[in-house]
Amino acid sequence: MNAILADLLQLLELERIEVDIFRGESRDIGSPQVFGGQVLGQALSAASQTVDGRIVHSLHSYFLRPGDMKAPIVYNVDHSRDGRSFSARRVVAIQHGRPIFTLSCSFQVPEEGFTHQADMPDVPGPDGLTDVTELNLRLADRAPTKLRRLLTTKRPFEFRPVDPVNFLNPERREPVKHVWMRTVDRIPDNDQLHRVLLAYVSDYELLGTATLPHGIRFGHDNVQMASIDHAMWFHRPPRVDEWLLYTFDSPSASGARGLARGMIYTRDGTLVASTAQEGLVRIRGRGED
């Protein structure tokens, strides 16, 4: 298996240090703090390890404090409820004695029911599109110094945008975008693992959709962005090692916050998951946090 992907799988596995208590490490992907998708994926992994015979179908989370990449993260899982069909878990991620993230998630015994879904957007497939790593390398020399490592760091996922955004010189555009994604190598046939990985990768690209109508240039000192919350619904079993289309839109930005939504489809048009996230999008000097 690709070494970077194998390292991610190990990162998400966690160390069980006590009943319902887990410990995880962090990886530096070039961002100034721990990547939010990592904490989300690890928290879901911790919760999933306390449930048998049920699959996660929804989660709701809040990012409370930036994560410290040099310190371990402890995940404390609370068994909120175990019913005949559903189990609820609450996870608190702790660093330096303080919560940095909370997650509530629900698991269900698999069963059949009514079925319908929204249609996948009519966009070009991944074949022939350029991977974002190659696009970033073309811009790296002109990017602010603090962004270069983020742009050039190798990732465990491929990302191929349908209509790439030049974040160094962005044009104002509609708050809609589409990105094809998959892991860089095959992974085991484990539904729980695929859902955890999909949660991990769902934090990529999402909040940035809310900036598209405003032509915000990333990496400049007067722009402050941070995820506030993240919600996700799993509709059908995903495979993250096969091409998935992540389609985004942003219906609103106000009060120094932006709202973005996402829908994730298989290549044949099956809707496997939906996401929503609100985040801080602030021009510095217009308020203090």
Which sequence positions are flagged as catalytic?
Answer: 203, 227, 277
How far apart CA 123 and CA 265 sit, in angstroms, is: 12
Fill in the DSSP letter of residue 182: E
Q: Encode burial over 275-287: b for 16+ CB neighbours within 10 A, e otherwise.
A: bbbbbbbbeeeee
Fill in the DSSP letter of residue 242: S
Answer yes or no: are the C-beta atoms of 162 and 196 closer than 8 Å. Answer: no
Half-sphere exposure of 126 (CA within 13 A, CB side): 18
Instruction: Provide the CA 49 distance to its chain's centre, in angstroms.
Output: 20
How far apart CA 219 and CA 66 sit, in angstroms, is: 18
SS3 191: helix
CA-CA-CA-CA dihedral for 217, 122, 202, 145, to nearest 10? -20
